[in-house]
A and B are shown apart, each in its own frame.
Chain A
Amino acid sequence: MRKLALAIAVIAPMLGHAAWAEDTIKIGYIDPLSGGGASVGEGGLKTFQYLADELNAKGGILGHKVEIVPLDNKTNPQESLVQAQKAIDAGVRYITQGNGSSVAAALSDFITKNNTRNPGKEVLYFNYAAVDPSLTNEKCSYWHFRWDASSDIKMEALTNYMKDTASIKKVYLINQDYSFGQSVRTDARKMLGAKRPDIQIVGDELHPLLKVTDFSPYIAKIKASGADSVVTGNWGQDFALLLKAAADAGLKVNWYTYYAGGAGGPTAIKQTGLDHQVFQITEGFANSGNQTAMDYEKAFRAKVNLSLWYPRAVNEMRMFKAAAEKANSIDPVKVAAALEDLKFEVLDGGTGFMRKDDHQFFQPIYISSFGKLAANDPFDEENTGWGWHGVSKVDTAQAMVSTSCKMTRP
């Protein structure tokens, strides 16, 4: 026991906060780095560190070095707030986060309160992956900026694609029972109903989040419904197990997904052998055909040993730099003002812009399918030998949604 008491005493002095140089721009990266979501969180961290290195190699932002401060939130909203407070106390003025809409909602609320209570010490929140529409609608905040397409934008793009695909006749919706899954489901019903009233929605299922080990009963229902397409927002094990159960039962449908490309997704698809039957909606993908983006992907993979999951993170960091230069300041208040309505050439080509009304970034959206690589598709995923193949590009104008945000401006 004494050994342990001593071990604790030995560790204790290490627990102090690291001291950072004053003139660096510290970006607090709050995402899971341990536990269930860690594989995703680590990928994001490596991406942001790569981007910071890239910026620093070119002289940083207005001469300031950019540093990513990793903070582990264990996908827990309370823990995120503790980490955010810790970061702010250590001088962080920019926070970026992506995994978990519940975390995002808590953070957005926390930062808004922080900024009201501590004028002169404002903090900006750059959201790179939390897609709950409420963050740019009823819960919108002036201090929150989102670079990922929210789930309703993605659905808008997807349904614009689906309405021109005559072979789709019967659609089955299966989603996780939480706010994101629910918004996928309601948006799909609403938008499909408006654009292709002839498409039948033959099933609409919500299942508990990350609690289902056996999806075969759900597959049996999909099969019985006679659906030809399934729309799902499932991610992680809920996606992998759903697909495995479908392949086991011999279900032949097309899968329209949000997160098939997430960590472990490609591995799961390859295991099931569903060749070009799984589609995903993203703001960019490896084999997008855009030469700049593909060169970038190649350099990124060579260094980080991961696929570039987040082209939006590239957009985020580059736009941050553009906004800081436009404002000629790294003060969060000025950067926020400069970001509003900023137009930007995104990584995969095409123009996007940060809408002032709700701080949502609008950009071209791609539909791609996963399967055996075609001749002009150089990149595979997760060493499976399979990769994404472009199916359709939905332009920015076709991927816009209205907002109900009534923003309180400082």
Chain B
Amino acid sequence: MTTATTSTPNVTGKPAGGNLRFYGVWLIGVIALIVLPMIFSSGGSLTSFSLIGIAIVFALSYNILLGQTGLLSFGHAVHYGLGGFAACHMMNAVTSHGWPVPLPFIPLFGGIGGLVFAMIIGWVMTKRAGTVFAMISLGIGELVASSSLILRSVFGGESGVTTDRTALPKMFGWTFGPQLQVYYLIAFWLVLSAVAMYALTRTPLGRISNAVRDNPERVQFIGYDPHVVRYLAFCFAGFFAGIAGGLAAINFEIANSAYLGAIQSGLVLFSTFIGGTAYFFGPILGAILVTYLQLGLTSVTSVWQLYFGIIFIGIVMFSPGGIAGLVMMHRPLVRAGTLWTVIPSYLVAIVPTAALAFGVILTIETIARYSGGDAINLFGIGFKPTSPVTWISAAVLVVGGAFVARVTWRRIADAWDRAATVARDRGYLA
């Protein structure tokens, strides 16, 4: 069960000035993190940003397994959850013993929690890759989640362990009561973890992990033990997942068995794959999208699960490289300067495609709300689910949209082929 993605080291062989661009990207990221809460300062967006930050660290840690080492895990949330519990217990211990540990150091203990468990369980788990690993991780995930309800003195039963982040020793006079301060704490750890995980991909270990993913036999021939490599990658992934869990514990001030469960494991798998496992920034995009959908969809439609499902099926089917794959597809065109030949066909396609999407949404909402009779509000246009006008417009949008959209998509494909051919001719690989 190796991913079909190929390793594309996107930094090697970079032209002069690439260094500058490389640091520039990171710098822009950091600045964006600092500035974001100043632009969107409402409490709701702060909460969302904090959750997205946590999801990014978690998804990046998962990609150490899935993208880099080719290990499909169904139980990654175990490390996340144990990290959360470790952080909660540490916070409570700090408060009750009066240790001089301020809050910003707490995620480290979360990381240690995740790491310790990974070290204990990892050696037997990583003996094999593929289905065997996937299934063991599924079993371990289920075991730990169930045990957390049985071992009440550690996990606090299903109500979990609560803590108070403001009770810890202060740092720079910050109490970490307001969400803004928590956001900056999460942003700080996000940058730290992301840099560390990126650096990890550049180390010999990171490289040999890729080799283990692609061809473990050859790795053995050149004198490395794939088992050890997998084990090390597993430990690193556990550590960073633990950090994410620790951050979540700080954000929610509670850790409970839902942290460890299959849903959490499934979500991180989703985020990572949707974002794209072949590129470092893929999981970041995936985590942002999935968290955003999770937070936003539920408040606008009762059948959010259906949209969730449709979006994922669509991405898997039409863009198996994830969002990152889609973005990077355009790189050769940008370099060759042929991107502009494609853009007009994109613009043309927007209209019918939007109509199609609009029609699909209208159809789903009509069916979902038919019995309840609640009005549908799409971009300020009101529709009554029981009225034939709605049904007809939905049908027209779906059928007409699909018909016209197909034509425009074909045009995109043609334009794309031409542009890619030119790019290839100019020496940029498509």
Chain A directly contacts chain B within the complex, with at least one CB pair under 8 Å? yes
- Cβ of B135 under 8 Å from chain A: no
Q: Is the CB of A77 within 8 A of B256?
A: yes
Residues in A50-108 with C-beta less than 8 Å from chain B: 71-72, 76-78, 81-82, 85-86, 88-90, 101-102, 105-106
Determine whether the beta carbon of B43 is less than 8 Å from that of A109. Answer: no
The reply to whether A3 and B42 contact each other, CB–CB distance below 8 Å, is no
The answer on a CB contact under 8 Å between A14 and B379 is: yes
Query: A6 with B353: in contact, given A33-B302, A76-B263 (CB under 8 Å)?
Result: yes
Question: When the two chains form their complex, are residues B248 and A78 in contact, meaning their CB atoms are under 8 A apart?
Answer: yes
Across the interface, which residues of B come within 8 angstroms of A7, CB to CB? 311, 314, 353, 357, 360
CB within 8 Å for A2 and B315 given contacts A34-B305, A101-B159, A178-B149: no
Given contacts A14-B378, A82-B51, contact A88 B357 (CB under 8 A): no
A85 to B46, CA, bound (A): 10
What residues of B have a CB within 8 angstroms of the CB of A35 in the complex?
Answer: 305
A3 touches B319 (CB 8 A): no
Say yes or no: is B197 at the interface (Cβ < 8 Å to chain A). no
Is A82 in contact with B353, judged by CB distance below 8 angstroms? no
A7→B355 CA distance, assembly (Å): 9
Of B3-11, B90-98, B160-168, B226-234, the one with at least 4 CB within 8 A of chain A? B160-168
Flag A9-24 by CB within 8 Å of B: 1 or 0 each.
0111111011000000
Give the shortest distance, in Å, between B369 (CB) and chain A (any CB): 13
From A4, A18, A177, A179, give the contact of B159 (CB < 8 A).
A179
Residue B219 at the chain A interface, CB threshold 8 Å = no
Q: Mark B385-406, 1 if CB is under 8 A from A, else 0.
A: 0000000000000000000010
Which residues on A sit within 8 Å (CB–CB) of B292? 15
Is B259 located at the chain interface by the 8 A CB criterion?
yes
In contact, B314 and A3 (Cβ under 8 angstroms): yes
Q: What is the CB-to-nearest-CB distance from A321 to chain B, in angstroms, rounded to a whole number?
A: 26
Question: CB within 8 Å of B: which of A93-139?
Answer: 101-102, 105-106, 109-110, 113, 117, 132, 134
Residue of A nearest to B312 (CB): A4
Residues of B within 8 A of A211 (CB): 146
Chain A's closest residue to B178 (CB) is A117
Is A5 in the interface zone, CB < 8 Å from B? yes
A224 at interface by CB-CB < 8 Å: no
Partner of B314, one of A4, A11, A17, A102: A4
Q: Which of B44, B51, B350, B379 contacts A90 (CB 8 A)?
A: B44
A90 to B315, CA, bound (A): 33
Expressed in whole angstroms, the Cα–Cα distance for A2 and B348 within the complex equals 12
What is the bound-complex CA distance between A288 and B44, given in angstroms? 45
Known contacts A10-B354, A113-B164; is-contact A34 B256 (Cβ 8 Å): no
Smallest Cβ-Cβ distance to A90: which chain B residue: B44
User: Is B121's beta carbon under 8 Å from chain A?
Assistant: no
List chain A residues, Cβ under 8 A from B179: 85
Q: Are B157 and A179 in contact (CB under 8 A)?
A: yes
> Does residue B409 face the partner (Cβ distance < 8 Å to A)?
yes
How far is it, in angstroms, between the C-alpha of A35 and the C-alpha of B304 when the chains are bound?
11
Q: A302 at interface (Cβ–Cβ under 8 A)?
A: no
Which residues in window 386-430 of B have CB below 8 A to A? 405, 409, 412
Q: Is A166 an interface residue (CB 8 A)?
A: no
Q: How far is the CA of A97 from the CA of B315 in the complex (A)?
A: 36
Tell me which residues across on chain B come within 8 A of A208, comparing CB atoms. Answer: 146, 149
Output the nearest chain B residue to A105 by Cβ-Cβ distance.
B159
B interface residue count range (under 10 / 10 to 19 / 20 to 34 / 35 or more): 35 or more
* A3-B314, A3-B357 as given contacts; A78 in contact with B258, CB under 8 Å: yes
B44 touches A89 (CB 8 A): yes
Q: Is there a chain A Cβ closer than 8 Å to B252's Cβ?
A: yes
Chain B residues near A132 (CB, 8 Å)?
159
Does B318 reach chain A (CB closer than 8 Å)? yes
Which B residues are CB-close (under 8 A) to A134?
159
A220 vs B356: C-alpha distance when bound (angstroms) = 57
The answer to whether B158 touches A178, judged by C-beta atoms less than 8 angstroms apart, is yes
Q: Does B47 contact A (CB under 8 A)?
A: yes
CB neighbors of B among A169-212 (8 A): 177-179, 208-209, 211
Interface size class on chain A is: 35 or more
**Contact (Cβ within 8 A) B177 A102:** no
Specify which chain A residues have a CB less than 8 angstroms from the CB of B314 in the assembled complex: 1, 3-4, 7
A85 to B297, CA, bound (A): 16
Interface code B307-328, partner A: CB below 8 Å = 1, 0 otherwise? 1000100110011000000100
Scoring B159, B263, B318 by chain A CB atoms within 10 A of each residue's CB, the highest score goes to B159
Contact: B259 with A78, CB < 8 Å? yes
A8 at the interface (CB under 8 A from B): yes
Known contacts: A4-B315, A7-B357, A117-B178. The answer to whether A178 contacts B300 by CB under 8 A is no
Residues in A whose Cβ lies below 8 Å from that of B162: 105-106, 109
CB–CB B166/A89 < 8 A? no
Q: Is the CB of B356 within 8 A of A3?
A: yes
> Please, which residue of chain B has its CB at the minimum distance from the CB of A135?
B159
Interface residues in B235-270 by Cβ distance below 8 A to A read: 248, 252-254, 256, 258-259, 263
Given A17-B299, A77-B254, check contact A8 B318 (CB 8 Å). no
Known: A10-B358, A81-B254, A85-B43. A5 touches B159 (CB 8 A): no
User: Does chain A have a CB within 8 A of B298?
Assistant: yes
Q: Point out the residues of chain A lying under 8 angstroms from B248, CB to CB.
A: 78
Q: Complex formed: what's the CA distance from A11 to B315 in Å? A: 16
Answer yes or no: B334 CB below 8 A from chain A CBs: no
B319 touches A1 (CB 8 A): yes
Q: A2-B346, A15-B296, A179-B157 are in contact. Are A102 and B164 (CB under 8 A)?
A: no
Instruction: Show 26 residue pairs from A and B whose CB-CB distance is below 8 angstroms, ordered by the A residue.
Output: A2-B412, A3-B314, A4-B318, A6-B350, A6-B353, A7-B314, A11-B296, A13-B379, A15-B296, A34-B303, A34-B304, A77-B160, A77-B254, A82-B47, A85-B43, A85-B47, A89-B44, A102-B159, A106-B159, A106-B254, A109-B254, A117-B166, A132-B159, A178-B157, A179-B157, A211-B146
Interface contacts beyond A11-B296, A77-B256, A89-B42: sample of 20 additional A-B pairs, CB < 8 Å, sorted by A: A1-B314, A1-B326, A4-B311, A4-B314, A6-B350, A6-B354, A8-B311, A33-B302, A35-B305, A71-B298, A76-B258, A76-B263, A81-B254, A82-B51, A85-B47, A86-B295, A106-B162, A113-B253, A117-B166, A134-B159
B residues with a Cβ closer than 8 A to A are 42-44, 47, 51, 146, 149-150, 157-160, 162, 164, 166, 177-179, 248, 252-254, 256, 258-259, 263, 289, 292, 295-300, 302-305, 307, 311, 314-315, 318-319, 326, 346, 349-350, 353-354, 356-358, 360-361, 378-379, 405, 409, 412
